[in-house]
Amino acid sequence: MDLSVNILVIGRHPQILETVLRLINTQQAWKAIGALTDNEAVEKFERDNFDLVLIGGGVEEESERSFKNEFEKINPQIKMIRHYGGGSGLLFNEIQEVLTRISVDQWKGAVKI
Amino acid sequence: MNRKEFIKTALSTSVMLTTTGASQIEAKGNHHPIVGFEHLPPKTITTMNTVLHKANTRGHANHGWLDTNHTFSFAHYYDPTRVQFGALRVLNDDFVDGGMGFGTHPLDNMEIISIPLSGDLEHKDSMGNVAVIKQNDVQIMSAGTGIYHSEYNKNKDKKVNFLQIWVFPKVRNIEPRYDQINFRPEDRVNKLQQIVSPSKTDDGVWINQDAWFHLGNLKKGFATDYTVNQKGNGVYAFVIEGDLTIHDQKLNKRDGFGVWDVDKLSISADSDAEVLLMEVPMN
């Protein structure tokens, strides 16, 4: 059973995307792949199972809305967040915050509070 | 403790356990034995419209060359109760050894303000800017669609201490931009000197956010008011030196104090003091 947190990172800046992926993948429990274009992002989302989508720099609001619509049709539980800072400083915090929310939601579901 | 309270306690404990990053970096001055979460002193003190972050409750990390204090969650310091104050996301108080610094790294979609408190900081970025920022300078970068930059202590023989402040941008994906201004220290003696504003024609460096920053060097006994520029904004005060009372809250060196839902703030210096006021949108 794969217990990794699978993350799709979408960003328009190739070097920044590469840095963000490298940083996420230093964490044993996290697995990230990236997409530079809308088509590539949708194709990867349809192919693999993701727990979280990070919207990085340069992604237009129209694309962001379209990802939300498309991805939620495939996985209504998907968490999507905007990433700020290009990998520097906030990346682990942002992911940690979502994972905390997911674990609290699951815990609440389990104990029916 | 009834069952419902027990489950609530267990839930909050599970949140703490999932945030091990916070526990890896101990707050300075926190010498209380860990005997249960209820017994730990509160790190954040809130009222209806204020939040107090005492200096010794900040996240602290010592990387050897970098000794840093995080008012808000940053890097591997994560405390879910201390993520941001409105649009103010990062307030780091960094001490960097001589000749050392942050190598080239990417940034995007963030307004980054650096304020050296002592020493000199050398900056280079992918827009071609090479600059040294010194005490009384304020630097701003709109990272926008993405830049690379490095920051080093210019001097080999002494530390640089600077505040690194990140504010969420009003508009994402703007063209990256750099600016730096030198301010006259005499213009903030018993005055609030505007150093950041959202208007390009106003005093201070321009920021891509409805935010205003002021510095004040206030002599003991001096009192003044700060009037909020935009309705709905909050004000976060960071005490650089000395003791102050703001909005009836006594503050000491490197304490942080946020206030919202007010039009005006009273400020009085209990000793000679320096303060940075950061007015930011709360939504």
How many CA atoms, within 13 angstroms, populate the side-chain half-sphere of residue B134?
5
Q: Which region, left, alpha or beta, applies to residue B124 given φ > 0 means left and ψ of -120 to 50 means alpha?
A: beta
pLDDT for the residue numbered B44? 81
pLDDT for the residue numbered B59? 96
Would you tell me which CATH number, out of the four given (1.10.150.120, 3.40.50.11540, 2.60.120.10, 3.30.70.20), belongs to the domain B22-281? 2.60.120.10
Q: Please state which architecture CATH assigns to domain A5-111.
A: 3-Layer(aba) Sandwich (3.40)
User: Among A12, A89, A99, whose Cβ lies nearest the Cβ of B18?
Assistant: A99
The predicted model scores a pTM of: 0.85
Residue type, A109: G
Average pLDDT over residues B20-42: 42
Name the residue ranges covered by the structural domains of chain B. 22-281
List chain A pLDDT tens, one digit each, 113 residues: 667 899 999 999 999 999 999 999 999 999 999 999 999 999 999 999 999 999 999 999 999 999 999 999 999 999 999 999 888 889 999 998 898 877 666 655 555 44
Is the per-residue pLDDT at B258 higher than 60?
yes
Kindly compute the dihedral angle of the four CA atoms of residues A70, A73, A78, A80, in this order, to the nearest 10 degrees.
30
pLDDT for the residue numbered B76? 87
Check if A48 contacts B (Cβ < 8 Å): no
Beta bridge partners of B131: B123
Name the residue ranges covered by the structural domains of chain A. 5-111
Q: How confident is the model at residue B86 (pLDDT cuts 50, 70, 90)?
A: very high
Check if A96 contacts B (Cβ < 8 Å): yes
With an 8 Å Cβ cutoff, are A16 and B146 in contact? yes
Chain B residues near residue A14 by CB distance under 8 angstroms: none
Check if B146 contacts A (Cβ < 8 Å): yes
Check if A12 contacts B (Cβ < 8 Å): yes
Check if A14 contacts B (Cβ < 8 Å): no
With an 8 Å Cβ cutoff, are B106 and A19 in contact? yes
Residues in Cβ contact with B274 at an 8 Å cutoff, skipping those fewer than 6 apart: B215, B216, B217, B218, B239, B240, B241, B242
pLDDT for the residue numbered B219? 98
Contact by Cβ (8 Å): B79, B53: no
Check if B162 contacts A (Cβ < 8 Å): no
User: Among B19, B109, B148, whose Cβ lies nearest the Cβ of A96?
Assistant: B19
With an 8 Å Cβ cutoff, are B7 and A13 in contact? no
Query: What's the CA gap between B238 and B93, in Å, rounded?
Result: 10
Output the average pLDDT for chain B: 88
Distance from CA of B224 to the nearest CA of A (A): 36
Tokens of B152: 């080093």
Q: How far is CA B53 from CA B170, B234, B240, in A?
A: 25, 15, 14
This model of the complex carries an ipTM of: 0.82
pLDDT for the residue numbered A76? 94
Distance from CA of B127 to the nearest CA of A (A): 15
* Nearest one of B63, B205, B218 to B139, comparing CA atoms: B205
User: Among B89, B108, B166, whose Cβ lies nearest the Cβ of A57?
Assistant: B108
Is the per-residue pLDDT at B2 higher than 70?
no
Question: Least CA distance to B78: which residue of chain A?
Answer: A93
DSSP at B168: -
Chain B residues near residue A102 by CB distance under 8 angstroms: none
